[in-house]
Amino acid sequence: MDATVEKLKKNKAFSCLECGKCTAVCPISRFNESYSPRRMVAEGLFYGADGLVDDRLLWSCLTCQLCSQRCPVDVRYSEYMRDVRAEAVSLGKMGNPSHGGALHYIMEIATSPKLKQERTEWIESGLRVKKKGEVLYFVGCIPFYQDFFAKDFEFTPVSIARDTVRILNHIGVEPVVLENERCCGHDLYWLGRLTEFDDLGRLNIKAIEQSGAKTVVTACPECALTLKRLYSERLGTASFEVKHISEVVADHIERISFDELERKITFQDPCRLGRYLGVYDEPRNVITAIPGVTFKEMAHSGRGAICCGTTNWMNCDATSKKIQSSRLKEAKAAGAGTLVTACPKCQIHFRCAQYGEEAEDIDIELMDFVNLVASALRK
């Protein structure tokens, strides 16, 4: 039997009822009628990997889990996509990487054990960090995003890193920041490049454990999911706890004093933070604790939130832009003046949709969760 068909068993694809609920809620299917999760499962069941590995739509799936959440028989469609992609990768096939595949090359380079980096230039004077300790801030790819996106989108990705440290300092934490930290490997995992993912995981786990960290904090939900669950799934249970910064701030909210901030805010639930990790209330509790903030919920929020439209720096196309534009319109329709994101990629993708776009209906302020919190901290 085809290897991919064998993998269907563990992802429960054989249980598919062909009810179409997955396709009905899929953000890609909404704007691209040729894409259907139900069809992708059916093709795998009847023909194995042979047809799917050559299907360019294989790389379009956002692995956002909205379909699995609605599935009455719990088909693990995102994991099914990962496994089929792994088959494609083994045959030398790949989708259409965005930005010329440069960000993928960075991930590949990071798998080298001999790699030496200078990743801490973003740390400003006044920010307190150290090399060993019980709390570690895992920065992720933000320093690379600074080089790629800061100029074009009038956006400073490293401000997310700086404000994360600023918030931790405010609650009395001086975090460890690794000088030679690598990409967590999240994108490689969902692209089916599992050998490289494992290499990155081992290197990161070793560096974190050598730092003495018992808790790892990240401002990126993809890093949080990877460090907390994906490493454990493939490499065994790690010795440290993992928390997204929204959870940390929510845990210490009684100790934080905010200045008043007059804003009408709505919140973009990142797929990895929400549907994968179940973190919905914490960011909202923090945002609504800021005096002067009026919170506006979007029509699709929480478990029903719509993805930002692109993932893994792959197959970013007209369909992606339609999803992003639709989401920005929804944020404005909610009556918000600011759309707060809690994932660096979400903000990059939304800013990309706004770039060169003259329509006023997607012109809304974008702000990361940590930038919002840091701006409201009482001086």
Judge if 239 and 137 occupy the same domain.
yes
Share of the chain above pLDDT 70, in %: 96
pLDDT tens per residue, range 259-273: 999 999 999 999 999
Of 250, 267, 299, the position where a domain reaches its end is 250
In Å, how far are 9, 45, 202, 341, 353 from 2, measured between CA atoms?
Answer: 12, 10, 30, 41, 40
Alpha-carbon separation of residue 142 from 113, 136, 157, 220, 375 (angstroms) = 21, 16, 6, 9, 19
d(CA 303, CA 301): 6
> 108 with 70, same domain?
no
Q: Write the pLDDT tens digit of every residue in 214-267.
A: 999 999 999 999 999 999 999 998 899 999 999 999 999 999 999 999 999 999
User: What is the extent of the structural domain holding 124?
Assistant: 98-250
CATH number at residue 261: 3.40.50
* C-alpha 237: how far from chain center: 22
Residue 233 shares a structural domain with residue 173:
yes
Same domain, 246 and 261: no
Across 26-54, average pLDDT: 88
Tell me how many domains the chain contains: 3
Tell me, yes or no, whether 115 and 215 share the same domain.
yes
CA-to-CA separations, 72 to 76, 106, 232, in angstroms, rounded? 11, 39, 27
Give the pLDDT confidence of 282-311 residue by residue, as tens digits.
Answer: 999 999 999 999 999 999 999 999 999 999
Question: Could you tell me if 105 and 62 lie in one domain?
Answer: no
Rounded to an integer, the average pLDDT of 99-111 is: 95
- 18 & 155 share domain: no
From 226, 250, 274, the end of a domain falls on 250
Distance, in Å, from the CA atom of 37 to the CA atom of 209, rounded to the nearest integer, reads 40
Lowest mean pLDDT among 68-77, 145-154, 169-178, 256-265: 145-154
Residue 25 has pLDDT above 50, yes or no: yes
Other C-beta atoms closer than 10 Å to the C-beta of 13 total 23
Query: What CATH number does residue 74 fall under?
Result: 1.10.1060.10
H, E, C per residue of the chain: CCHHHHHHHHCCHHHCCCCCHHHHHCHHHHHCCCCCHHHHHHHHHHHCHHHHCCCHHHHCCCCCCHHHHHCCCCCCHHHHHHHHHHHHHHCCCCCCEHHHHHHHHHHHHCCCCCCCCCCCCCCCCCCCCECCCCEEEECCCHHHHHHHHHHHHCCCCHHHHHHHHHHHHHCCCCCECCCCCCCCCHHHHHCCCHHHHHHHHHHHHHHHHHCCCCEEEECCHHHHHHHHHHHHHHHCCCCCEEEEHHHHHHHCHHHCCECCCCEEEEECCCCHHHHHCCCCHHHHHHHHCCCCEEECCCCCCHHHCCCCCCECCECCCHHHHHHHHHHHHHHHHCCCCEEEECCHHHHHHHHHHHCCCCCHHHCCEEEEHHHHHHHHECC
Residue 9 confidence (pLDDT): 75
Domain check: are 125 and 237 in the same one?
Answer: yes
Which of 250, 269, 301 is the last residue before a domain boundary? 250
Q: Per-residue pLDDT averaged across 35-55, rounded? A: 85
pLDDT above 70 (res 59): yes
User: In this structure, are residues 80 and 44 in contact, taking their beta carbons and an 8 Å threshold?
Assistant: yes
Mean pLDDT of the chain: 94
Dihedral of alpha carbons 269, 273, 279, 283, sign:
negative
Give me the half-sphere count of Cα atoms (radius 13 Å) on the Cβ side of residue 364.
Answer: 31
For 181-217, the pLDDT digits (tens) are 999 999 999 999 999 999 999 999 999 999 999 999 9
Same domain, 329 and 229: no
Indicate the pLDDT class of residue 2, thresholds 50, 70 and 90.
Answer: low
Tokens at 247, concatenated? 């959870």
pLDDT at 1: 40
User: Can you give the pLDDT at residue 37?
Assistant: 96
What is the distance between the alpha carbons of residues 317 and 310, in angstroms, rounded to a whole number? 9
Q: Which pTM value belongs to this model?
A: 0.96
Of 35-44, 133-142, 240-249, the least confident: 35-44
Phi-psi region of 315 (alpha: psi -120 to 50; beta: other; left: phi over 0): left
